[in-house]
């Protein structure tokens, strides 16, 4: 058996879409992002060709300077277990180190046992766990405290000291991507350009950071009724402020439909978890952790403080 790993070409498109159509009952997000993945100069779409047949693909991109990100690995269901996933992962790692990565990250859902098996064999460590939530917020009519826009500096300071971030072992979420906040706070906070908070006596007491995803964004295939979804990256502070913050965010972003990654590890969960459940968001797994962030640091890359960009 021969295996060739190479960059995807235009003529691979049909096979890539055929493989993608086997995943998640046709709800894979890859068709939405394939154009971007084929043309994006900073990212790289790799394919594995087994005995002349395109058997698998995966995408590699960056979440911050020096921090590569792997996603979207899929093998044709008829050709699994022949080493294509492993070879793609190995090639992605080698190419990441070659291109200057000091860390490579990825995330996976609890069901993806094969994926976890492969990345753990390459030395990836599980660094944080989250509960994925989605759904429509229940409408409520309580009087709203006044939420105001936060500056980037205010948001960074609040997030950095939050229990939410501590429960996430310092990893900041946006959709299915995660970045250690201390690695690049500006890059992490830029994922959620919508930032509001509630100040009392001049101090920020609660904050929400979010963005809006729309069709074609890096996400699962949106159904027509979920073309505009709020992506909640961060919610912490006084729990009583959460409904008002979410209500304002829904109004400003023009959606009541939300998805969120809320940190949880064993008994330790962010306080947003209970609040979002009470407000009507659903979990795929009984509100237990079901999404895991993995990282691998380049061997010999030094301590985190030495690894910072100059």
Ligand X SMILES: CC(C)(COP(=O)(O)OP(=O)(O)OC[C@H]1O[C@@H](n2cnc3c(N)ncnc32)[C@H](O)[C@@H]1OP(=O)(O)O)[C@@H](O)C(=O)NCCC(=O)NCCS
Q: Given the rule CB under 6 A, which residues bind ligand X?
A: 23, 56, 73-75, 80-86, 108, 112-115, 117-118
Write out the two tokens for 10.
């235009």
Q: How far is the CB of 292 from ligand X (least distance, A)?
A: 10
Comparison of 82 and 195: residue with beta carbon closer to ligand X: 82
Q: How far is the CB of 118 from ligand X (least distance, A)?
A: 5
Comparison of 124 and 242: residue with beta carbon closer to ligand X: 124
Q: How far is the CB of 265 from ligand X (least distance, A)?
A: 19
Residue 69 φ/ψ region, left for φ over 0, alpha for ψ in the -120 to 50 degree band, beta for the rest: beta
Q: How far is the CB of 257 from ligand X (least distance, A)?
A: 23
Comparison of 158 and 294: residue with beta carbon closer to ligand X: 294
Q: How far is the CB of 66 from ligand X (least distance, A)?
A: 22
Q: How far is the CB of 88 from ligand X (least distance, A)?
A: 8
Comparison of 80 and 95: residue with beta carbon closer to ligand X: 80
Write out the two tokens for 107.
């995330």
Comparison of 81 and 310: residue with beta carbon closer to ligand X: 81
Residue facing ligand X at closest CB distance? 85
Comparison of 47 and 235: residue with beta carbon closer to ligand X: 47
Comparison of 64 and 70: residue with beta carbon closer to ligand X: 70
Comparison of 82 and 248: residue with beta carbon closer to ligand X: 82
Q: How far is the CB of 4 from ligand X (least distance, A)?
A: 14
210: CB partners within 8 A, 6+ apart: 192, 194, 195, 230, 231, 232, 233, 234, 249, 253
Supply φ then ψ for residue 242, to 5 degrees.
-60, -45
Q: How far is the CB of 268 from ligand X (least distance, A)?
A: 24
């Amino acid at each position: 058996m021969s295996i060739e790993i190479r960059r995807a070409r235009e003529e691979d498109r049909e096979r890539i879409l055929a493989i993608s159509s086997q995943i998640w009952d046709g709800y894979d997000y890859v068709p939405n992002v394939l154009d971007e993945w084929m043309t994006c100069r900073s990212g790289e779409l790799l394919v594995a060709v087994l005995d002349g047949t395109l058997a698998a693909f995966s995408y590699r991109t960056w979440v911050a300077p020096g921090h590569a990100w792997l996603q979207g690995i899929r093998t044709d269901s008829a050709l699994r277990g022949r080493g294509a996933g492993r070879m793609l992962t190995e090639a992605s790692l080698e190419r990441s180190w070659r291109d200057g990565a000091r860390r490579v990250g990825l995330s996976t859902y609890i069901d993806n046992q094969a994926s976890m098996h492969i990345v753990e064999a390459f030395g990836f460590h599980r660094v944080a766990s989250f509960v994925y939530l989605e759904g429509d917020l229940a409408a409520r009519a309580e009087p709203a405290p006044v939420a105001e826009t936060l500056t980037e500096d205010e948001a960074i300071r609040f997030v950095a000291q939050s229990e939410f971030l501590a429960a996430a072992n310092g990893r900041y979420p946006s959709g299915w991507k995660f970045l250690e906040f201390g690695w690049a706070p500006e890059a992490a906070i830029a994922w959620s350009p919508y930032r509001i908070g509630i100040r009392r006596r001049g101090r920020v007491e609660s904050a929400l950071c979010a963005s809006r995803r729309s069709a074609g964004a890096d996400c699962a295939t949106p159904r027509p009724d979920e073309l505009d979804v709020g992506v909640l990256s961060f919610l912490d502070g006084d729990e009583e402020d959460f409904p008002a913050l979410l209500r304002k965010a829904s109004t400003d972003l023009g959606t009541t439909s939300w998805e969120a990654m809320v940190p949880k590890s064993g008994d330790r969960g962010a306080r947003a978890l209970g609040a979002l459940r009470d407000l009507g968001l659903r979990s795929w797994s009984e509100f237990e952790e079901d999404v895991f962030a993995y990282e691998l640091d380049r061997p010999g890359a030094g301590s985190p403080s030495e690894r910072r960009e100059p």
